[in-house]
Amino acid sequence: MAGVVLSGLRREFGSFVALEGLDVALAPGELVSFLGPSGCGKTTALRLVAGFDRPTTGRIEIDGADMTRVPAAKRGVGMVFQAYSLFPTMTAARNVEFGLRVRGVARGQRARRALELLELVGLDHAAGRYPHQLSGGMQQRVALARALAIEPRVLLLDEPLSALDAKVRVQLRDEIRRIQSRLGITTIYVTHDQEEALSISDRVAVMRAGRIEQIGPPAAIYGEPETPFVAEFIGTINRLEARVVDAGRGAVRAGEQTLELPAARGRQAGEAILVLVRPETVRLGASTNGHDVVAAGEIESATFLGATTRVRMRTPLGPLTADVPSGTPSLGPGAAVSASFPADAARVLPL
């Protein structure tokens, strides 16, 4: 199993800096997602690791060996592309065995191996079909099998599910993770879909404007965002602009209300901060807990999302969003409501 170390990776296109010095080390067998909006440099980083592009400066190590200037064909890196990467004139089986054919593996042996891999992705029955006879999800399974056929040291996935519909996406995502764990292959997964990144990764690297904003296990990224960008990019979050009133007690003034937050203790008095509250921690109705932050509000809108209903309110703290179980009565616009959230569920970041 191979580890991957990217150090100081920088890529400039003319005066545009696509990647501003990327440092990340993947442990052998680890799956790390590069997550970020389009243009954040995640695909640029992946292409550098694949060898399709050369960094302006920086170094790529696989298994301790410097790969920075090694051509793509010699890196032993498997890649799954967004879509339409299967060779259209070859059957699924021929696609899968292509890498072995290039390596001069005997016909019978590579045919057996191709079938094994198609079986792994659940497509052994479609071995003789051409790409245009396969659905989008099946094509991506074949592409995965093809990338795995060469027993790559590192697997790279470039938004492999973005062209698929929602149901297939979830199914294939779980399958990718299952196969990746089983083979224990070091993997970089690029996506702009936070749910995908959180569900599949050992660690998530949230990227923005060519740099990693935060990297950590999914739960930490979700629960303890270190920057406002990460907090807002990962899931929905309430952001309340506030000012520290009393650092000792952790008292802050948000909108027209003062609240006491454990997270604000030890800040500078007068400091402008951002109070972040996940909507699922916000409850409606009278609070029974003395440590809760309570705000009286008026409902602006309620959106039914299935299991939960997203309620937007005007409160003295500012606009507040709550995700409450569906079926909660009297959520009509204009209704007066009391909203509360545990004081220790709020996260505080400098503004």
- Point out which residues bind another protein (CB under 8 A): 50-52, 71-79, 81, 84-90, 98-99, 101-103, 130-132, 143, 146-147, 149-150
Compute the least distance from the CB of residue 83 to another protein, in Å: 8
Which is nearer to another protein, 147 or 275 (by Cβ)? 147
In the beta sheet, which residues pair with residue 276?
239, 347
CB 77 within 8 A of CB 52: no
Pairing mode of beta strands 292-304, 336-342? antiparallel
Which is nearer to another protein, 130 or 229 (by Cβ)? 130
Q: Distance between CA atoms of 202 and 3, rounded to whole angstroms? A: 14
Compute the least distance from the CB of residue 191 to another protein, in Å: 18
Which is nearer to another protein, 163 or 335 (by Cβ)? 163
Tokens of 326: 């569906």
Q: In which order are the strands placed within the sheet that holds 283-284?
A: 283-284, 336-342, 292-304, 308-315, 318-325
The H or E element that residue 244 is part of is strand 238-246
Compute the least distance from the CB of residue 78 to another protein, in Å: 7
Give the CA radius of gyration of the chain: 25
Tokens of 14: 């003319």
Compute the least distance from the CB of residue 85 to another protein, in Å: 4
Compute the least distance from the CB of residue 115 to another protein, in Å: 18
CB 172 within 8 A of CB 161: yes
Which is nearer to another protein, 116 or 241 (by Cβ)? 116
Q: Distance between CA atoms of 151 and 128, rounded to whole angstroms? A: 22
Pick the closest to residue 238 from 290, 197, 293, 286 (CA basis): 293
Which is nearer to another protein, 52 or 304 (by Cβ)? 52
Q: Distance between CA atoms of 10 and 313, rounded to whole angstroms? A: 44
DSSP one-letter string for 288-324 = --TTEEEEEEEEEEEEE-SSEEEEEEEETTEEEEEEE
Compute the least distance from the CB of residue 124 to another protein, in Å: 20
Compute the least distance from the CB of residue 19 to another protein, in Å: 18
Compute the least distance from the CB of residue 34 to another protein, in Å: 17
Distance between first and last Cα of the chain: 42
Which is nearer to another protein, 60 or 295 (by Cβ)? 60
In the beta sheet, which residues pair with residue 63?
none
Which is nearer to another protein, 79 or 320 (by Cβ)? 79
Which is nearer to another protein, 70 or 335 (by Cβ)? 70
